[in-house]
A and B are shown apart, each in its own frame.
Chain A
Amino acid sequence: MSTNSTEKKWDRRSADTAERLEAASRYIGPGKQFKPEDTVALLEAVIRAGDRVNIEGNNQKQADFLAECLNKVDKSRIHDLHMVQSAVPLPVHLDLFENGIAKKLDFAFGGPQAGRVAKFISEGKLELGAIHTYLELFGRYFLDLTPKVSLICAYKADRQGNLYTGFNTEDTPTIVEATKFRQGIVIAQVNEIVDKLPRVDIPADWIDGVVQSPKPFFIEPLFTRDPALVTESQILLAMLCLKGIYAEYEVKRINHGIGFLTSAIELLLPTYGEELGLKGKACTHMILNPHPTMIPAIESGWVDTIHCFGGELGMEKYVAARPDVFFTGPDGTLRSNRAYAQTAGHYALDMFIGGTLQIDKFGNSSTATASRVAGFGGAPNMGCDAKGRRHATDSWLKVGKEMPTLDRQIGNMPRGKRLVVQGVETFGEGRAPVFVEQLDAWKLAENANLDLPPVMIYGDDLTHIVTEEGIAYLNRCADIEARMAAIRAVAGYTEIGLKANPDETRQLREAGIVKTPEDLGVDRSRANRSLLAARNIRDLVSWSGGLYNPPARFRNW
């Protein structure tokens, strides 16, 4: 027995890693630093064909230099890589598949490369593992998709190799923890190497190599919505949401999507929201990137807490100056963390509200189109009812109480339900109908050989639909027939909407399942831009007392 156990090796992973690092050691100097010109050679030393590799890149922080270098490795040696990463937003991420270096992809969000992902799948260049949510993929990093090598990104390193990820910490701690503690290899690119970091976000002994990239990593202001582009129709929808949902349920813990509807809601909090007496009763705790359109509500004292997935360009000083609201480090700058924000988003939110491209007649919704494998990032985790939730809040309980058929599933046991709200104009981008017989996701599933049509929010999780016609309170519907009728009633002049039966709609209104703006007492004529607390980016700068520094593309003064 004892001889058997001594023969069996239990440290093959760490031995393998040690062997690879030994091969790379000639490039790595003090403080784990290596030179940009040695990067390709270093990657060739630490990566082997068939490895699972993570390139950090999500919304606001991209290991773009390391991704470019990975494209330059000798593909006769390094090929068939299995990429496991949150997002593939950069062309270089897909070039890996075109160049024959990578073969398989497990991810959560496609972004601008979504079209190429679909094309590569159908051409056989890319083998798709699955489209995940962020939390789901993070979970698999610690189970069956642990990366062997991770190429990560930070703002700064010090001379010992400690990293500062700062404002845009995002996915870094999750990736590093999964990789390093399973004896993997972590390589970091940084914008600069300094003597002293503002704070240490990743300790040096979790890192194997650090390079100062020739230019700072690519970053885009993805979450900034210019109030000047908010339409009166969006303002009407926002008024309906505030009166018919925020006030009705007094929802305190919220995630806002990144569309113009939710930015309209944010800009109406200090005006219409205050008029409805909602301050202190709704929107007190939020899971959000630092949206600039939240500034007026924060300044007006609406918000107790905001935890962020990532950062947003231009909001650095403002956030640092509001530490009572945001999570900041001992150095005073924001600490974001996608894994924790998504955990809060999945378990602790009372409401998720956002938009979508399509809703089918049953209430399933998706932003996928026939030729784009987009993925949904974190929306499905927040846009669903977390079945593992055990703590109660008033709004969560109220939605549960309103469900007429809960007893058919769990008898007389009380239970709550998260509000999952989709706010859409019945005709969306390019005048395309939002309400459709069948989602384009079905066609995508066929085109890209997916096992499932990619659905962002399933109909049974959806509790409310808000359109310019009014609100459908789907949680109050007894069965799928009633849900479909309620959806038809608010679907306007789309083909789905034209099938609504006026008698049926009247009954739904009498039952409080459908409410028009008039039923809710929302005056349509007040839906104009003068109701916005800020009407342009300049106003947001003024609200912030000059702390918000908008990126150049948003400046019109």
Chain B
Amino acid sequence: MPKWNDLQEQSFLESDARARAVGLVDEGTYTELAGPFDRFYSPHLEVLGEAVEFDDGIVTAVGKIGKTPVFVISQEGRFIGGSVGEVGGAKMVNTIRLAIEFHDKLVAEYPDISDEEKPVVVISFETGGVRLHESNAGLLAHAEVMDQLQKARHKVPVITLIGSKVGCFGGMGFVAAATDAIVMSEFGRLGLTGPEVIEQEMGKEEFDSSDRALVFRTTGGRHKYIMGDCNVLVHNTIAAFREAVAKLAVLPVSEFEKMRRIGSPEAVERQLRAVALAAEMQPQDARDVWAKAGNPDPVALTDIPLDEFIADVKRLSV
């Protein structure tokens, strides 16, 4: 087990799933659920003769930040691209379910319990979505996670963290968008169809996936922050992500409703206004939208130091 203190200043981008999970909760409070020693691994990969991981590439755990019980789900991009299959999906589903049940039990027993003592779920995404080796089971797992997100609604806030190498794409992009709050670093990427797939389907003129600068200014943390898809933009350390979670964890659950992207008539109307704006603007590049949001020098926004960016940037309001 990595040392907690060493983890805090470690690059979130370079940290594996377990290091992220351990470092996100308070020192000494981490308990892994269905860990590698329990050997819940994918029966599908085994049948196909592929290598398995004894945690199926998803770390699930419970710990605390201050007074808040934190249920952690952390995906490992180095195992089949962080793809989600049946077992890993079930681990995600049941971790959220446990958080909800724990919440209900706490509230029943202690009706006066404060917001900061109620549990939250944190998901550190690093995934391209469904594991193609186990397609139907993997898709079903996505649906079940979405189902749990609905059940957690108004009870247990679900906080997304994105700042790992693979980013968060495919079906899991939908899942992340359906959570209550999204925290990203500038190295995080969030989207539905991945850049390579867009290029393959629509051609290099539409989207050149080898142009990483283009990929990041279309899917990366800074862009998502301007667009409002990302609620909080943080530095690339585990401590910075942890601090963002700590600030969110104490808020009443009603506050999270304001941060959501979907799930209310107001949110839907806002999304429709954004679609109308896109149709009217026909932006050729993310920078067109940054300029529209009121940023006089959109080109400079990419490289200015993060603190300066957060202080000065104008975010799109529709």
What is the interface of chain A, defined by CB distance below 8 A to chain B?
Answer: 228, 529-530, 535-536, 538, 541-542, 546, 549, 552-557
Contacts of A557 in B (CB 8 A): 186-187, 216, 220-222, 302
Q: Does B304 contact A (CB under 8 A)?
A: yes
A556 x B216 contact (CB < 8 A): yes
User: Given A538-B186, A542-B305, A546-B304, do A555 and B11 touch, yes or no (CB 8 Å)?
Assistant: no
Nearest-neighbor residue (CB-CB) of A557 within chain B: B186
Categorize the interface residue count of chain B.
20 to 34
Q: Does B280 contact A (CB under 8 A)?
A: no
20 A-B pairs besides A546-B304, A553-B211 with CB distance below 8 A are: A228-B13, A228-B14, A529-B11, A530-B9, A535-B11, A535-B14, A536-B13, A536-B187, A546-B305, A549-B303, A552-B211, A552-B212, A553-B210, A553-B213, A554-B212, A555-B212, A555-B213, A555-B216, A557-B222, A557-B302
Contacts of A530 in B (CB 8 A): 9-10
Secondary structure of the B side of the interface?
loop
Nearest-neighbor residue (CB-CB) of A552 within chain B: B213
B186 x A553 contact (CB < 8 A): no
Nearest-neighbor residue (CB-CB) of B186 within chain A: A557
Contacts of A536 in B (CB 8 A): 11, 13, 187
A399 to chain B, nearest CB (A): 38
| Complex CA–CA separation, A542 to B304 (angstroms) | 9
What is the interface of chain B, defined by CB distance below 8 A to chain A?
Answer: 9-11, 13-14, 186-187, 210-214, 216, 220-222, 302-305
A314 to chain B, nearest CB (A): 11
Contacts of B186 in A (CB 8 A): 538, 557
| Complex CA–CA separation, A546 to B308 (angstroms) | 13
| Complex CA–CA separation, A556 to B11 (angstroms) | 14
A546 to chain B, nearest CB (A): 6
Contacts of A529 in B (CB 8 A): 11, 14
User: Given A557-B187, A557-B222, do A552 and B14 touch, yes or no (CB 8 Å)?
Assistant: no
Contacts of B304 in A (CB 8 A): 546
Contacts of B221 in A (CB 8 A): 557
| Complex CA–CA separation, A15 to B222 (angstroms) | 65
Q: Can you report 26 residue pairs joining A to B where beta carbons are below 8 Å apart? A: A228-B14, A530-B9, A530-B10, A535-B14, A536-B11, A536-B187, A538-B186, A538-B187, A541-B303, A542-B305, A546-B303, A552-B211, A552-B212, A552-B213, A553-B210, A553-B211, A553-B212, A553-B213, A554-B212, A555-B216, A556-B216, A556-B220, A557-B186, A557-B216, A557-B221, A557-B302
Contacts of A549 in B (CB 8 A): 303
Contacts of A552 in B (CB 8 A): 211-214
A292 to chain B, nearest CB (A): 14
User: Given A538-B187, A546-B304, do A556 and B14 touch, yes or no (CB 8 Å)?
Assistant: no
User: What 10 A-B pairs are tightest by C-beta distance, nearest first?
Assistant: A552-B213, A555-B213, A557-B186, A552-B211, A555-B212, A553-B212, A557-B216, A546-B303, A557-B187, A535-B11
Nearest-neighbor residue (CB-CB) of A542 within chain B: B305
A315 to chain B, nearest CB (A): 15
Contacts of B302 in A (CB 8 A): 555, 557
Contacts of A555 in B (CB 8 A): 212-213, 216, 302
| Complex CA–CA separation, A549 to B214 (angstroms) | 14
Contacts of B13 in A (CB 8 A): 228, 536
Contacts of B14 in A (CB 8 A): 228, 529, 535
| Complex CA–CA separation, A553 to B213 (angstroms) | 6
B150 to chain A, nearest CB (A): 33
A208 to chain B, nearest CB (A): 39
A123 to chain B, nearest CB (A): 33
B55 to chain A, nearest CB (A): 22
Contacts of A538 in B (CB 8 A): 186-187
Contacts of B220 in A (CB 8 A): 556-557
| Complex CA–CA separation, A554 to B9 (angstroms) | 24
**Interface-centre pick from B187, B210, B221 (highest chain A CB count, 10 A):** B187
| Complex CA–CA separation, A541 to B309 (angstroms) | 15
| Complex CA–CA separation, A273 to B305 (angstroms) | 27
| Complex CA–CA separation, A535 to B12 (angstroms) | 12
Contacts of A556 in B (CB 8 A): 187, 212, 216, 220
A235 to chain B, nearest CB (A): 13
| Complex CA–CA separation, A228 to B11 (angstroms) | 11
Contacts of B212 in A (CB 8 A): 552-556
| Complex CA–CA separation, A555 to B220 (angstroms) | 11
**Interface-centre pick from A535, A538, A557 (highest chain B CB count, 10 A):** A557
Nearest-neighbor residue (CB-CB) of A530 within chain B: B10
| Complex CA–CA separation, A530 to B210 (angstroms) | 28
| Complex CA–CA separation, A556 to B302 (angstroms) | 10
**Interface-centre pick from A529, A538, A542, A549 (highest chain B CB count, 10 A):** A538
